[in-house]
Each structure stands twice: as C-alpha cells, then as structure tokens.
Structure 1
Amino acid sequence: MSATNEKVLGHFLKYKRLSADPSVFGITRGPHRRVTGLRREEVAERAHVSTDWYARIEQGRLGANPSPEVLAALCRVLQLSPAETRYVFNLVGQRPLERPVSGVSAALRDLMLAQLPRPAYLMDRQLTIVAWNPAFAAVYGNLTGQSALQRNAVWRIFHDPFLQTAVDDWREVAHLQTARFRQIYSSDADSAFLYRVFTTIKNNPVFQEAWDRLAVAEPDEMRFLLTFSENSDLYLVETTLQTPTGEYYLAVQNAGDTPTLMTLTQLGENI
C-alpha cells in the first residue's frame, strides 16, 4: 500500500471511529466521556487487535498490509456500510470477503428493542453478545464494560457464576452451547478469538464431556428454567434467528408459561 493510501485510510478510519454509535456495543455516553464516538482501545478490543497496532493505522504508518479478516473486523466495529467496506479494501489493494461485515443496523437494533418486555439480544457470528435490550439487562445484568470474551455466550455459560447457579438444568444448557460452539468454530477455525474462548473452557469437565460427544447444533431454540428471585422462576423459550446477511443472530426469550409472562410484563412496566 502506498504512503498516500496509508494516510487516506488512517484519516477515513479515524473519522468513522469518531462518528460511530457507541450504544451499538452497549457503551453509554456518561458525563465524563469526551469522545463522541468510540475510543481507539474500544475499537481495538472489539476487532481483536492491539491498541498500538490500530493507532498506527490511524496515524498512516501501518507498514505491512493487514489480513482481510482483520480489515473485515475493523469495518464491522466501525459500522461501515458495504460501500465503505469496499472502499477500505480498495485502499489496501485487497478484495473484500465474500460477505462484507457491517455494523448492527438501526432497523435491527430497533427490532431487538421492540421485543420488550421479553429479554432479547444480538450476537455476532462468533456468538458474542453485541447489543441487548433493557429486559435482558434487568434479568442478566448490564454487560456494559465487559470484554468481548466476557460477553461471548459460550464463555458465559461456563464462567458466569449467575448462570451456573440460576439456570436450573445448567449442564444441559452447557452441552447445547458446546454443540453450538463446535459448529461456529468449524466455520472459522483460524479465528484467534474463538481459539481463546476454547482455551478458557477446554479444561471444564462438563465442556469436555459435551465436546467428546461430537454433538453439533445451530443456534435455534432453547428452553430453560431460570431462578430470577427468591419467589420467582422464569420458564423461558429462547428463539434465535440469523439475519439474512449471516452477520448476526437475534435471540428472543419468550415466556414459556403464564407466571413467567406475568413476571416479564411487570418487569417491562418498571423499565
């Protein structure tokens, strides 16, 4: 890549970073937040690259060309349109991946928010939660400030103390998430992020038990009982749909019985 293109690319990515919508990733604009868009470290973390490496891109001193996968990840985090994604790849002298990665659209985010009072959330292709509605936060806690690893649905089922104690049949849910992880990992075996997820759960005996069964599953439907409070259990039927582009999954947790419906309705009135 020429020195001119390096500077053009850096300027463009910086502009898009400062104009990106932080709320897509659950980042709230607090009174002490001076950056209008995303911080460099926030982009780097979500694209799974170092902050120093990303800073060099913006400063126009990249050097070696990044891989198509890294470029696609940056385009996703910066919420670039398909045309903007092609522009970035053109500057580097590469062709976009077959399915350019873009950010969560406003329409998709609105669809998720419209599921209230039902908990709903969005996951990327690697089953990492990237957005959620207030009902999800009320039941599971606000994920703002957590790393991509901590927001990964597979990592969470094995490491989140709340899920391990609140999910009635935790072992069965863990087995299902393992089967989903096998499917996702097989489609992106070179992913450093998915390998990191794997290394953090591979020694868990329940994961080992499920992994050895060689079960494979797509994210679709899951039923489970969740202890919500001392006097309230939620019987939830989670339905997961993939967007037409294949970039995201929308998961909606419907009430599986009347008491759960009443609890979720009351919860929605207080949000």
Structure 2
Amino acid sequence: MSKDSALGDFLRARREQVRPEDVGLPAGGVRRVAGLRREEVAMLAGVSSDYYVRLEQGRERHPSAQVADALGRVLALEEDALAHLHRLARPVPSRRRRAPGKERVSPNLLRMMDAWPHTPALVLGRYMTVLAANALGRALFGGHAHSGDLLRLVFLDPDAREFYPDWDRVAANTVGGLRAAVGLDDDDPRLIETVGELSVKSAAFRKLWARHDIRQKTHETKRFRHRLVGELELTYEALTVNSAPGQQLIVYQAEPGSPSEQALSLLGSLTATEPETRPEHNERPGNTVRRSPAKGE
C-alpha cells in the first residue's frame, strides 16, 4: 500500500462493511457494490460526492478533523479506528527509519515475570512474536508448531481452531491488533514480508486484512482448549512497555476459585519439571520463546 492510497484504501474497506439499513437507508434493490455507495457516504457525512470520490481515489488526502469525524460517524468507526483515520488524514512526518535491531527484553521485566509463578505472562514484539515468557506462559502456549509467534499460531498452525474455541473472534482481533500496532508504518519491510506470507498461506487472514479493522490490544476474556488440562477461560491485560517501544506485556489470570484457576494450577504442576522451551524448527529470526534467566545467571 502506498502512502498516497492509504486513506482511500481505508475508507473504501470500511464503507463496504456498512449496510444501508445500519444508517437508515432502504436495503432493497440491486447493489453493484458491497455496503454503502460513495454518494451515500458523502450525503450522510455532509460533503460533496466529488470530494468524497477524490478522498477514496487519493487525489485528496487531508480532510479536516470535522470531516474525518463525520466520516467516522457514518462508517461506524470505533475509537481505535477513528483515531487511525485522523492519523491518516494528518500524518506526522516520520523520521528516517533505522535498520531494526534485535528486540531485547529488559532483565528487570524478566525477573518480575518470574516472580509470578501462578500467572502466565508474555512479552510480545511489534509483530506478535513472543520475545519472552515466564514458566506458566510457556506452558500455556507450548506444544504448537508456532508457539513463539502468536500471529502465525492463529493463522498457520494446524491445531489453532482446536486451541482457540472462539477462533473467528481471536482471528479478527489478532489482525486488528496487528494493524493497530504498525499504525501508519505499513511500508516496513518486515510487515510487508509477514502480510505477504500470511496472505498467500491463509485465505482467512487475507480476507480479514482487507477489512482494515483497527483494534488496540488492551484487555479481553479468552477461551483456550489446552492439550494437557482442557478448557481454560482467562482474562488478560495488555500493558505497554515504556522502556521498549513496540513491546507489550500480556498478563493472564483466571477467576479466583473457578475451574479455570484449578486447571491453570494443574498446568503449572504438570510442566514444572519440563525442560525449557527450545526454538521451533520453523521459527523465523526473532521468534524464539526466550526463557527468563535462572537465579545466579
């Protein structure tokens, strides 16, 4: 995607997701396009059809904040998606990109995660690779072909739909979270490579990526079907690591006294004596699930 077409691509994708009846228009008749017509969006947003067409075609790329808000209302954009629209309309000049270095997790953060023996915790990189995990975090996601890469685990792992009982919701949130993480930096070579691979190998990813959904990873309740302990229902909080831009600390918890808490405790017991997770044979650079250093290392 070029910078010139980013705004238009986003508006077009989101327009196709809004049904006429969602905005009070009659749903009958034959429509040649999915969702709303361009002239309908323009009318509802209070702009001319010609101006809106120029926005989608990339001939006009800087609508005012008022117009962006109006378009967001018509397209039913949630908070994260509306913020993304405003960034597309008024992009901040980017500095020259430096060659990406190896993502490293702070030793202090690793020690803190190790101090939570009953709480699964992961540190994710910008592209949802697992940069570090404590013992229970490794146990929760272990045993898959792509345990060290949650994006590929969802879309390429053969047992992903078994592991995630609510796979459709997980898949949509994962793609929305990736778009939120990369923001306007969609010409990053690593992103282009990742999106290209997943688009070729997964029709589901390709369809979801084309929707341009934006969902910041914050908190959610998620169900797992673990190979060792069965069903788990866990809530997570995603915390930004301020000392390492692009990294997120993901912390999972079970409801106190629930069957999930008992299953999580059992999982910890079953895996307490297992060897540390080793890199997967098919891992990509930077995708290793790194163990936290033992005391004295």
State the TM bucket, normalised to the shorter chain.
Answer: 0.5 to 0.7
Structure 2: runs of 5 or more not aligned:
1-95, 273-297
Q: Tell me the TM-score normalized by structure 1.
A: 0.56
Measured against aligned partners, the alpha-carbon deviations of 1:81-133 in whole angstroms (never above 9, x if no partner) come to xxxxxxxxxxxxxxxxxxxxxx3111111122223222211112232211111
1:153 and 2:150 correspond: yes
Q: SS of the residue aligned with 1:218?
A: coil
Paired position in structure 2 for 1:133: 134
Aligned-residue offset at 1:194:
1.4
8 Å contact from structure 2 (residues 229, 266) kept in 1: no
Paired position in structure 1 for 2:48: none
Q: Tell me the TM-score normalized by structure 2.
A: 0.52
Rg larger in structure: 2
Paired position in structure 2 for 1:116: 117
8 Å contact from structure 2 (residues 123, 130) kept in 1: yes
Q: Which of the residues 201, 207, 210 maps onto 1:209?
A: 207
1:177 and 2:178 correspond: no
CA distance in 2, matches of 1:215, 1:256: 30
Identity of aligned pairs, percent?
A: 21
* 1:212–1:68 distance in 2 versus 1, CA, 3 Å: closer
* 1:160–1:256 distance in 2 versus 1, CA, 3 Å: farther
Query: Which structure has more RCO (C-alpha within 8 Å, separation ≥ 6)?
Result: 2
8 Å contact from structure 1 (residues 175, 210) kept in 2: yes
Amino acid at match of 2:193: R
Aligned pair count? 173
RMSD over aligned Cα atoms: 2.6
Amino acid at match of 1:171: D
* 1:150–1:139 distance in 2 versus 1, CA, 3 Å: closer
Amino acid at match of 1:211: W
After superposition, residues 1-271 of structure 1 pair within 5 angstroms as 69-70=98-99, 73-74=100-101, 76-77=102-103, 103-141=104-142, 151-203=148-200, 204-229=202-227, 232-245=230-243, 246-256=245-255, 258-270=258-270, 271=272
Higher helix share: 1
8 Å contact from structure 2 (residues 139, 268) kept in 1: no
Amino acid at match of 1:206: A
8 Å contact from structure 1 (residues 175, 206) kept in 2: no
CA distance in 2, matches of 1:135, 1:260: 14
CA distance in 1, matches of 2:229, 2:263: 11
* 1:198–1:163 distance in 2 versus 1, CA, 3 Å: same
8 Å contact from structure 2 (residues 223, 232) kept in 1: yes
CA distance in 2, matches of 1:231, 1:104: 29
8 Å contact from structure 1 (residues 158, 164) kept in 2: no
